[in-house]
Amino acid sequence: MAIQTVNPNTNKVVKSFEEMSDHAVDAAVAQAASAYTNWRKTSYKQRSEVLHKVASLMRAKKEHLATLITLEMGKLFAQAEGEVVLSADIFDYYATHAEKFLADKHLSPEYGQAFIRHSPIGVLFGVEPWNFPLYQVARFAAPNIMIGNTILVKHASIVPQCGIAIEDLFKEAGAPVGLYTNLLISGKRASALVADERIKGVSLTGSEAAGASLASEAGKHLKKSVLELGGSDAFIILEDADIDKAVEWAVVGRLNNNGECCVASKRFIAVEAIADEFLSKFKAKLAATVVGDPMDPKTQLGPLSSEAAAVQLFIQVKKAVAEGASLVLGGKRPDRAGAFMEPTILTDIKPNMAVYYEELFGPVAAFYKVKDEAAAIKLANDSPFGLGGSVFTEDVERGKRVAEQIDSGMVFINHPTWTQADLPFGGTKGSGYGRELSELGIDEFVNKKLIRTSALSDPF
């Protein structure tokens, strides 16, 4: 598989890279294992100094890093700058709070004294996606480096310059060689690498197929894994919602990151009392979206990450219409170079259609009209995914009751599913398992070791 930067705004190759040889990969794993023997002995203060420096460098290089993100995967430049800042915040967050999160937990056993000590487990391997090239890495690397683990990352093959740039940040921050290593390898080689006995845990953010492959290898070799996979978040609008606010957030929820976001709002479920009003206003807002060059500040929707992604989404829409879905807006590829897709709304989607259960990874919204709150909850849960979701209502307590009934890892009231350093992130069902971010995110790849002291008089 080619490892190259292809600008999705033009579909032109910008730069190509050679895959690492087997010998080079083996040397990188050996270096990470060697670095672990010393890094695990460092203090939290020493670890935090490195991460704070990485965060500082990210902010100082914000424009450069954001340009790389936009060049490689098409994110709007302003959103790319936001991603750089969020990533820096995550590094700072764990550098500041890890020592408290990992403090000994004292127990009160019936006999003797005991406590839980949190210890590192070794070299960790992360497989990261292209849609948030810095943020996804930050939420994996930051907590685990603070634990005392060392990190190997196989980044997505379409964002090689972003992957290299992150490793360069660690080098400039004075991190020991082997603490953080970027591997320029294919996905197939990544799954095979899981078997290496020097690697003690694996994490993947990506597709269901990639997650199943990596988890299978991890299970075969008895290694802990964390998976964050796809999503088809429901965006429920109840009859007492502020419709104009709901529409504003619906557009943000669907078009953020050009619609290529696991927790993007994808299925819009409106109760019949307000469904027509919501759809009319939602359609008008999407129809007015400015599509164009992601470096242009006037652009509101850039290209998809690749031509292949745009073609796949277009095929999904065509198939949905062929199976009986109605096209309310869009549905075409704009007449211009690049991996673009028009803002699109599909309605009249039924369970016998493939699109009913698929993830639409791009600026395509699936709209449903349902009778009432109970029907909205039932439809929201009728999905193989369970990542995030939203409920719009002026009655917050009602929103909480609805949120309790939605089978997903996250539910937001009066806001699309979102992310920040101090909120846990993760899903259920086909959306994966485990959590990243917040205190929960530092709790995955750690040995919670019981240490107990006994008196001679203690019974067996």
Query: Which residues are catalytically annotated?
Result: 228, 262
20, amino acid identity: M
Residue 280 neighbours by CB under 8 Å, 6+ apart: none
Strands 432-433 and 224-228, by their bridges, are: antiparallel
Give me 244's structure tokens: 């104009």
Give me 186's structure tokens: 């294919």
Give me 245's structure tokens: 């606010």
**Would you say 135 and 89 are in contact if contact means Cβ atoms under 8 Å apart?**
no
Number of helices and strands in the chain (H, E): 13, 20
Give me 424's structure tokens: 């846990």
Strands 150-154 and 199-205, by their bridges, are: unpaired
DSSP 123: E
CA atoms within 13 Å, Cβ hemisphere of 142:
34
| C-alpha distances out from residue 104 to 96, 98, 283, 424, 449, Å | 17, 12, 54, 22, 10
Beta bridge mates, 234:
267, 389
DSSP alpha helix (H) spans, 288-372:
307-322
**Would you say 316 and 360 are in contact if contact means Cβ atoms under 8 Å apart?**
yes
Q: Which of 236, 234, 237, 195 is nearest to 218 (CA)?
A: 195
Distance CA 193, CA 25 (A): 9
Beta bridge mates, 342:
none
Distance CA 347, CA 367 (A): 5
For residue 397, count other CB atoms closer than 10 A to its CB.
9
- Name the strand (E) or helix (H) holding 15: strand 12-17
Assign 3-class secondary structure to 35-68: HHHHHCCCCHHHHHHHHHHHHHHHHHCHHHHHHH
b/e 16-48 (16+ beta carbons within 10 angstroms → b) = eeebbeeeebeebbebbbbbbeebeeeebeebb
